[in-house]
Chain A
Amino acid sequence: GTYGIAQTVRELSVISHSQITRLYSRFHSLDKGENGALSREDFQRIPELAINPLGDRIINAFFPEGEDQVNFRGFMRTLAHFRPVEDNEKNKDPNSGEPLNSRNNKLLFAFRLYDLDRDDKISRDELLQVLRMMVGVNISDEQLGSIADRTIQEADTNGDMSISFSEFIKVLEKVDVEQKMSIRFLH
């Protein structure tokens, strides 16, 4: 209800009322079963998402561990990662903790796309699986294997043959994450 939305607004602290209304309208139009929650099928009905090679991983990011339904609050929380960082300047509140759309949290979102089993490490196997999703049948197993090996070799600093979150951050330190992982509202 409205209390829940007000709570969410406080949490997210950077989304305006009209934007929440729009997102709610969008949530409602995706919710074909009209039960106040979205299932994975509801997301897969979006053609542009269905043809995205990482579509399933992105959909997965909306669902907490072991759950099959996401309500509006969860929907908004996940989308909040993509708010542009500049908007935070208007709402500097020392007690609110790190906002969901900070550079760190955006990187964490991307990290979790690779980390299939949510064990906070990207193993060679996980990297291979995600690579396979992105290239389809167009690159051979051997070449994909060597890509994975090379990527881990470059990123891995502590020698455990997998990429931890801090190693992930280090690899991407020169990349403009804030811009690449942000979605700007028109109003």
Chain B
Amino acid sequence: MGLLESPFNSLLCMLLGISFTVWFTLLLVFIVVPAIFGLSFGIRTLYMKVLLKVFEWATLRIERGAKEKKHLLYKPNTNGIIAKKPTSLEEELKEIRRNGSGRDLDGSSPTFAVSDIFYFCRRGVESIVDDEVTKRFTAEELESWNLLTRSNYNFQHISARLTALWGLGLLIRYCCLLPLRLTLAITGVTLLVVFTTIIGFLPNGRMKNFLSEKVHLMCYRICVRALTAIITYHHSENKPKNGGICVANHTSPIDVIILASDGCYAMVGQTHGGLMGIIQRSMVKACPHIWFERSEIKDRHLVAKRLSDHVEDKNKLPILIFPEGTCINNTSVMMFKKGSFEIASTIYPVAIKYDPRFGEAFWNSSKFGMVSYLLRMMSSWAIVCSVWYLPPMSRQEGEDAVQFANRVKAAIARQGGLVDLLWDGGLKRSKVKDTFKEEQQKLYSKILWDHNSSP
């Protein structure tokens, strides 16, 4: 008897056929169709609540287990590990000198005290123990355990039940959730490429824009479900409008999917090769996105011109830009590059805050490539985040681009509960510029001269 005639094999084929059909029907009904219309069954929110309860239990269990076995637990330092005094160079030097020497000073030459060195010394050592910048480029530490070994520092065998739970979690995430999510992701991306290419054949006009909008939204929503992203949008009345620039803090490439599943934007970015390139080229057929060649990015005037041309056309979608220029770990907002703030248009700031308990969304590009990052995303529990649309802002009289950028950044940081830093996100890879050290030296020299003028 040949293989094809075996009744067992035909049974197998039938079963496979049925399960595929059921699978795809469920997919269609519960995910794709709601994605098209922007509806939700509330399944994900329920899932989130259940997970939180489980995490709480797991954390308590670990703490109890550690107490019983007299292990010491490592508690992450969310507020810094040392107490830093906020005194400035000037205040401290004055204080030390007042107490230190009783010399008479005649004000005709700069005065130096041997004790001046203490301030720089202590500040230097404080920054070695805990600094504001380097910790922004690695994932935030969690206070409770979310059953992912990748985020746990205390994982030892505490109890059979806990290990079993962890094992079950592993099974669910890699065998159920991951394949489902991969299927969805592939579906979403394929639909995006296919439909945008088809729409590209239509003549420019209202119909094309309408269809392009619907297609983009549908595909991004499918991708959102592919990540099991549970997003809460606040203040949707402030959503970006045509002719404006939408500005947001950057934590991961997923930010784009999160924002674009709730509104339509013109993307800005570098042209890539491979799969990304295919997606980019087909997207731009349906509606005008702004893709730059690598060489063009260096030319700031060219970039500014293309962006301003785009915002002047009120029929075109608002531009989405991440002025930090790199991914930061979502505990702070770093320096905004002034380029997008020099263009004369309304800025719509958006704050995005992820809840790290369900999955760490930060992309540490020096540690993980894009593919392994996406796989980690898809094998986490969920991506939970909040998006706040802030009221639009414009550059005021007498304000230059840098001040405007800082104002917008402060608003975003305040809303998202993030630390507002002046440091450049580029410090992830490059060294700090010498000008900052020169500023410190200038400040100290000024104090040497001015010491005599104030009591």
Contact = CB atoms under 8 A, between A and B. Distances in A.
B117 A114 contact: yes
B contacts with A: majority SS: helix
A54 B441 contact: no
B121 A187 contact: no
B441 A53 contact: yes
Contacts of A48: 123, 127, 131-133
Interface string B106-127: 0001111011111111111111
A9 to B, nearest CB: 13
B122 A51 contact: no
Contact of B120 (A19, A52, A147, A187): A52
B278 interface: no
Interface residues of A, number: 58
B372 interface: no
B210 to A, nearest CB: 49
B448 A46 contact: no
B298 interface: no
A50 interface: yes
A10 B394 CA distance: 60
Interface in B108-166: 109-112, 114-135, 138
A170 to B, nearest CB: 11
Interface residues of B, number: 56
Interface in B212-244: none
Interface string B77-101: 1011111000000001000100111
Interface in A133-187: 134-139, 143, 146-147, 151, 155, 168, 171-172, 174-177, 180-187
A54 B117 contact: yes
A135 B448 contact: yes
A44 interface: yes
A22 interface: yes
Given A45-B134, A52-B124, A110-B121, A79 B129 contact: yes
A18 interface: yes
A35 B448 CA distance: 43
B436 interface: yes
Interface of B: 72, 74-75, 77, 79-83, 92, 96, 99-101, 109-112, 114-135, 138, 423, 427, 431-432, 436-442, 444-446, 448
